[in-house]
Structure 1
Amino acid sequence: MDNKRVILAVALSMAVLLGWQFIFPSQPQTPPAKQEQTVTQSQTAGSDASGPVSDQLPDPASTASIVSAKGTKLTIDTPLYSAVINSQGGLLENFKLKKFKQTIEAGSPDVDMVGTNALNKAPMGLILNGIPTWANGVWGYEGTSLNLSDDQIGSLIFRGDVEGFRIERRLTFHADNYLIDEDVRVINKSNPSGMGRLAFTTATRSLTAEDDRYNPTRISWYGSDKLTEETDREDLRETGMTASGNIDWAAIDSNYFILALVPGSDDITVKGKLQDDIFRVAAEQNVSFDKDIERQLSCSYYFGPMDAKLMEKVPGNLGKAVNFGWFDLIAKPLVIALEWFHQYTHNYGIAIILLTVVIKLLFWPLSQKSYKSMEQMKRLQPMIAKLREKHGDDREALNKEMMQLYKTYNVNPAGGCLPMVLQIPVFFGLYKALMGTVALRHADFIHYLPFTDIVWLADLSAKDPLYITPIVMGATMFLQQKMTPSAGDPTQQKIMMFLPLVFTFMFLNFPAGLVVYWMVNNILSIAQQWMMTRKVNN
């Protein structure tokens, strides 16, 4: 085994991993459908626990007309968002994030967490014993439109009589967070029901394009220290999802935004479905409704960015929604480092470059040993060639004498590939961080191509629209290969020189921030190799 062959194997393995990620993005694990169905049936036997997938929901076309005819629009304005709540049942009509735009185009509207047509599916509507309270009740309200600033908190109260039940919904809004707290009081005045079910719901249009494989809109839930996600739209359309038991929260989310329900009780049934291109989720719990006895329930809502700091302030382990999969332990420290650099540079592109320099310094001693090992391997090539001539096809004898040769000259044949092996997890960790950190969404580096008005690196989470950085990256990788001490047979050397072209092709559609990282890393490696070669030659 020689050094060049090991490096080639590592490089090809990385190419396969990158290609696999590019062609087949990873899908989250979901629990078996049959098992979920069995659990749900065992816990809801004898009750018509319908929630958002029930035929008891009103006709989708009727919800908006009911609300517009009976309700009053109340606005909530904070530094983070503006929202409209309808007094007819307390439905959420829109929830616009002031700090996030839909695109990078000038004049782009704010991101609306509800979206067009979602009102028909009753976001923040209460379902009581299968009854859509916003459609069947007579509602009034207490309070006025809210204009909150700094750390202010404000509340609105909605009261309704729905088929013998008296309901009071108190919604509390926070100016410094996307959190909405709800306290519900229900009194059975004349309904014959003894046991019942109350469901908190939310709904939104798709947060991402339907064909977006890297950033799908999904339904997720967390319970028993486990995050579960469902991204298959066909399954959500046809059968939906159901999960019961010890569940902390349920949500509709993407890589960058989330609409979460955090019920006060963890013994709930979560149901979700995709109906008419609107994602719906309900968190339902069983409640006893004895006559004239007041029942108090609670739920927290979070409609906003996947901001770990803000989500940690929400009850119910909502911060666990920020998850980078296999590379979570690597990606999260990288995000922290990027944010630390950004607070001084105010530019995530520069922050990525500084992070690359730090990573390179950490790997510097290993890289030095790597280059030294490659130089030693290069000097051993004439002796290895003679051994091959001597033993011919006797691979066992050849390998035995080669290992003795490495031992005699104190050479580690795998030493040259160690830095590359260690950097692969860092690379994928940064890839996950760039694809899943909302702060990097629409993060600007070099907005316009120098000396032109052509938009260039205006979004580090998206590909380079001009493909300049991946081409430069490929060129630096080619130069690095030319500078690498030559070892191995000519066929291996030709394959190694072909790898920059393969990597360039794969990097064309990768996030620009990731390409900047790899390009700068190559430039630093070239400088290090040049210094090492100069030192050896002198």
Structure 2
Amino acid sequence: MDTKRVILATALSFLVIVVWSYFFTPAQQPAPPKNATQQTSQTVPDKVTSDFPDTKSAEKVSPATFVPTDGKTIAVDTPLYNARINTQGGVLEHFTLKKYKQTIAKDSPLIDLVSTQASSMAPMGVIYNGLPTWNKGQWSYDGQETTSLSGNDASVLRFVCRVAGMHLVRELTFHADSYLIEENLRLQNMSDSQAQARVTFTLASTGMTQHEDRYNHTRIAWLNKDGLTEEKDEDDAKEGLMGDNELQWGGLQSNYFLMALAPETTDAVFKAKLVDNVYRLGVEKTGLLVEPGMESTVLNDYYIGPKEEKYLEGAPNKLSSAVDFGFFDFLAKPLLMGLNWFYSYVGNWGVAIILLTVCIKILFWPLSHKSYKSMNKMKKIQPMMTKVREKYKDDRQKMNEEMMQLYKTYKVNPAGGCVPMLIQIPVFFGLYQALLGSIQLRHAVFIKYLPFTDYIWLADLSAKDPFYITPLIMGATMFLQQKLTPTPGDPTQAKIMLFMPVIFTFMFLNFPSGLVVYWLVNNVLSIGQQWLMLRKA
């Protein structure tokens, strides 16, 4: 009976590992088109039709004062990003993040969250009653061609559209110290009859991850009364997704970046669809009634940038909920705070991971000690357990009774070696999620060059070890750890345990190197603890 329990526990542990790998290793995505490195003026195409959003104030625009102008590209330049906007609709042509590059190469272009292909879908555009205003309306803009912001500066760009008897006044507020863009859309009814309005605000992206990012995938997400929902399946995205029920925000995100729409009212509807490898996103507001000669206001915010808490904390509509580490979020966030604290002192994320791992090991030292002690006791009574099994192999009930008596006599708890380790598993998974989803580790350097060479090595803790050195050393430490652990009495169980390092090594080959460093350091510390116990024994 005892052997069955041990084998069952081992099998279940292996099952947990396999299931975890299955659910947390996303399917590979098609490679998004390469971001444009040059930003040029372009005419907004008319290929996009409607099927997707809407509410704040300045003086009315009269028909006599409205003068349409030709579309042109203008720029908003801040310390955080450079936005290129076409005045024919106020839509984005490019949105380049100044602090983030595509790769770790010196000549790598900056991240552009709005690629040329995505710009053809009119991100940050407005659809009015099913009409894509960027090609169905007449627009005017009389502001500067380049707006430069710094410090705490903010600037409002004003675009005016005439479409279907309505004047749309778009007032977009840009901030130098934030990735948030606030929209105040005013609907001015220039007709002689009441107008029923349906407004949709849009975004578009070709995706936020590369084909090789196995542990970082693009997913559609929205927050409503039911909580945060994320969808990574491309087939479902092609069919179309919708979120309502007191909607807070909806958008597209990866582990590191977010494009989101946050409407003022919770009765809006979020829609998303993958069309020709471009994610189209929209937030729709319906039921607006505008009397003749009157106006109605609709508010909406856009967030286009990194998933850094310092920028999301002050954002409206609980946009900070986009930084979510899943089931172990309540553990991952405190661990990430600890990691940030260590980094503030040492200035190296790899060293910070090592220091945090040491602290966690110290915290769980008593539990680990108890586990190893229990395993040593089990090892000592293994010969007696073997004799009991042989003596009562034909009488299961008697065998179990004798085994229980044996445990009682020598004060051994057969689960004593497992329970302390199980308590630590949530912390391990919490740190796993924190390291996997933290933008701080993106392109973070630990050991840039392989020692005594000029080969790039651990220059990006969010990417795998290019030479597989750390996962192979990690596998070797697991094997050594198994050798130091008291050998199970059952030969089958012993073989299974010795096979585990091979499984883990294979799994860790493509893990982000930051995770491998954590597991490797944890193994080394465990080996040291076991060696001390064996020496005392």
Normalised TM-score (structure 1): 0.88
Q: How does 1:103-502 map to 2 (within 5 A)?
A: 103-144=103-144, 145-190=146-191, 192=193, 194-209=195-210, 214-237=215-238, 239-286=239-286, 287-502=288-503
Where 1:100 maps in the other structure, the secondary structure is strand
Q: Give the 3 Å change call, closer, same or farther, for CA 342–23 of structure 1 in structure 2.
A: same
Contact 1:15 1:503 in 2 (8 A): no
- The aligned residue for residue 13 of structure 1 is 12
Tell me by how many angstroms 1:526 deviates.
0.8
Contact 1:444 1:458 in 2 (8 A): yes
In 1: Cα distance, 2:291 partner to 2:156 partner: 28
Deviation per CA, 1:334-393: give whole Å up to 9, x if none. 211111111112111111111111111111001111121122112212222222232123
- The aligned residue for residue 514 of structure 1 is 515
Deviation per CA, 1:207-239: give whole Å up to 9, x if none. 1246855322222111114112232222322x3
Of stretches 510-519 and 139-148 in structure 1, the one that deviates more from structure 2 is 139-148
Where 2:303 maps in the other structure, the secondary structure is strand
Unaligned runs of 5+ in 2: 28-48, 54-68
Q: Give the 3 Å change call, closer, same or farther, for CA 519–458 of structure 1 in structure 2.
A: same
Tell me by how many angstroms 1:438 deviates.
1.3
Normalised TM-score (structure 2): 0.88
Unaligned runs of 5+ in 1: 29-49, 55-68
Contact 2:84 2:95 in 1 (8 A): yes
Where 1:221 maps in the other structure, the secondary structure is strand
Q: Give the 3 Å change call, closer, same or farther, for CA 52–464 of structure 1 in structure 2.
A: farther
- The amino acid of 1:262's aligned partner reads A
Q: Give the 3 Å change call, closer, same or farther, for CA 381–191 of structure 1 in structure 2.
A: farther
Tell me by how many angstroms 1:111 deviates.
0.6
Q: Give the 3 Å change call, closer, same or farther, for CA 217–243 of structure 1 in structure 2.
A: same
Deviation per CA, 1:300-354: give whole Å up to 9, x if none. 1100011123112111011112222222222222211111111112111111111
Q: Give the 3 Å change call, closer, same or farther, for CA 150–185 of structure 1 in structure 2.
A: same
Of stretches 15-24 and 139-148 in structure 1, the one that deviates more from structure 2 is 15-24
In 1: Cα distance, 2:396 partner to 2:375 partner: 23
Where 1:279 maps in the other structure, the secondary structure is strand
Contact 2:252 2:260 in 1 (8 A): yes
Contact 1:161 1:167 in 2 (8 A): yes
- The amino acid of 2:457's aligned partner reads W
Aligned-residue Cα RMSD (Å) equals 2.2
In 1: Cα distance, 2:71 partner to 2:52 partner: 25
Contact 1:89 1:133 in 2 (8 A): yes
Contact 1:52 1:281 in 2 (8 A): no
Q: Give the 3 Å change call, closer, same or farther, for CA 8–506 of structure 1 in structure 2.
A: farther
Q: Give the 3 Å change call, closer, same or farther, for CA 220–24 of structure 1 in structure 2.
A: closer
Where 2:364 maps in the other structure, the secondary structure is helix
Contact 1:179 1:302 in 2 (8 A): yes
Q: Give the 3 Å change call, closer, same or farther, for CA 326–422 of structure 1 in structure 2.
A: same
Is the helix fraction higher in 1 or 2? 1
In 1: Cα distance, 2:92 partner to 2:326 partner: 32
Tell me by how many angstroms 1:394 deviates.
1.6
Contact 2:443 2:459 in 1 (8 A): yes
Where 1:267 maps in the other structure, the secondary structure is coil
In 2: Cα distance, 1:232 partner to 1:477 partner: 35
Q: Give the 3 Å change call, closer, same or farther, for CA 51–426 of structure 1 in structure 2.
A: farther
Deviation per CA, 1:120-160: give whole Å up to 9, x if none. 11111111111111112222224322211122212211122
Contact 2:51 2:130 in 1 (8 A): no
Instruction: Give the count of matched residue pairs.
Output: 499
Q: Give the 3 Å change call, closer, same or farther, for CA 358–424 of structure 1 in structure 2.
A: same
- The amino acid of 2:246's aligned partner reads N
Contact 1:19 1:506 in 2 (8 A): no
In 1: Cα distance, 2:347 partner to 2:529 partner: 29
In 1: Cα distance, 2:10 partner to 2:438 partner: 28
Q: Give the 3 Å change call, closer, same or farther, for CA 223–236 of structure 1 in structure 2.
A: same
In 2: Cα distance, 1:18 partner to 1:392 partner: 33
Where 1:246 maps in the other structure, the secondary structure is coil
In 1: Cα distance, 2:451 partner to 2:5 partner: 41
- The amino acid of 1:15's aligned partner reads F
Tell me by how many angstroms 1:245 deviates.
3.6
- The aligned residue for residue 57 of structure 1 is none
Q: Give the 3 Å change call, closer, same or farther, for CA 279–200 of structure 1 in structure 2.
A: same
In 2: Cα distance, 1:301 partner to 1:92 partner: 12
- The amino acid of 2:90's aligned partner reads G
Contact 1:53 1:240 in 2 (8 A): no
Where 2:417 maps in the other structure, the secondary structure is helix
The sequence identity of aligned pairs, in percent, is 53
Where 1:117 maps in the other structure, the secondary structure is helix
In 2: Cα distance, 1:26 partner to 1:399 partner: 41
Tell me by how many angstroms 1:479 deviates.
0.9
In 2: Cα distance, 1:461 partner to 1:191 partner: 60
Tell me by how many angstroms 1:511 deviates.
1.6
Where 2:116 maps in the other structure, the secondary structure is coil
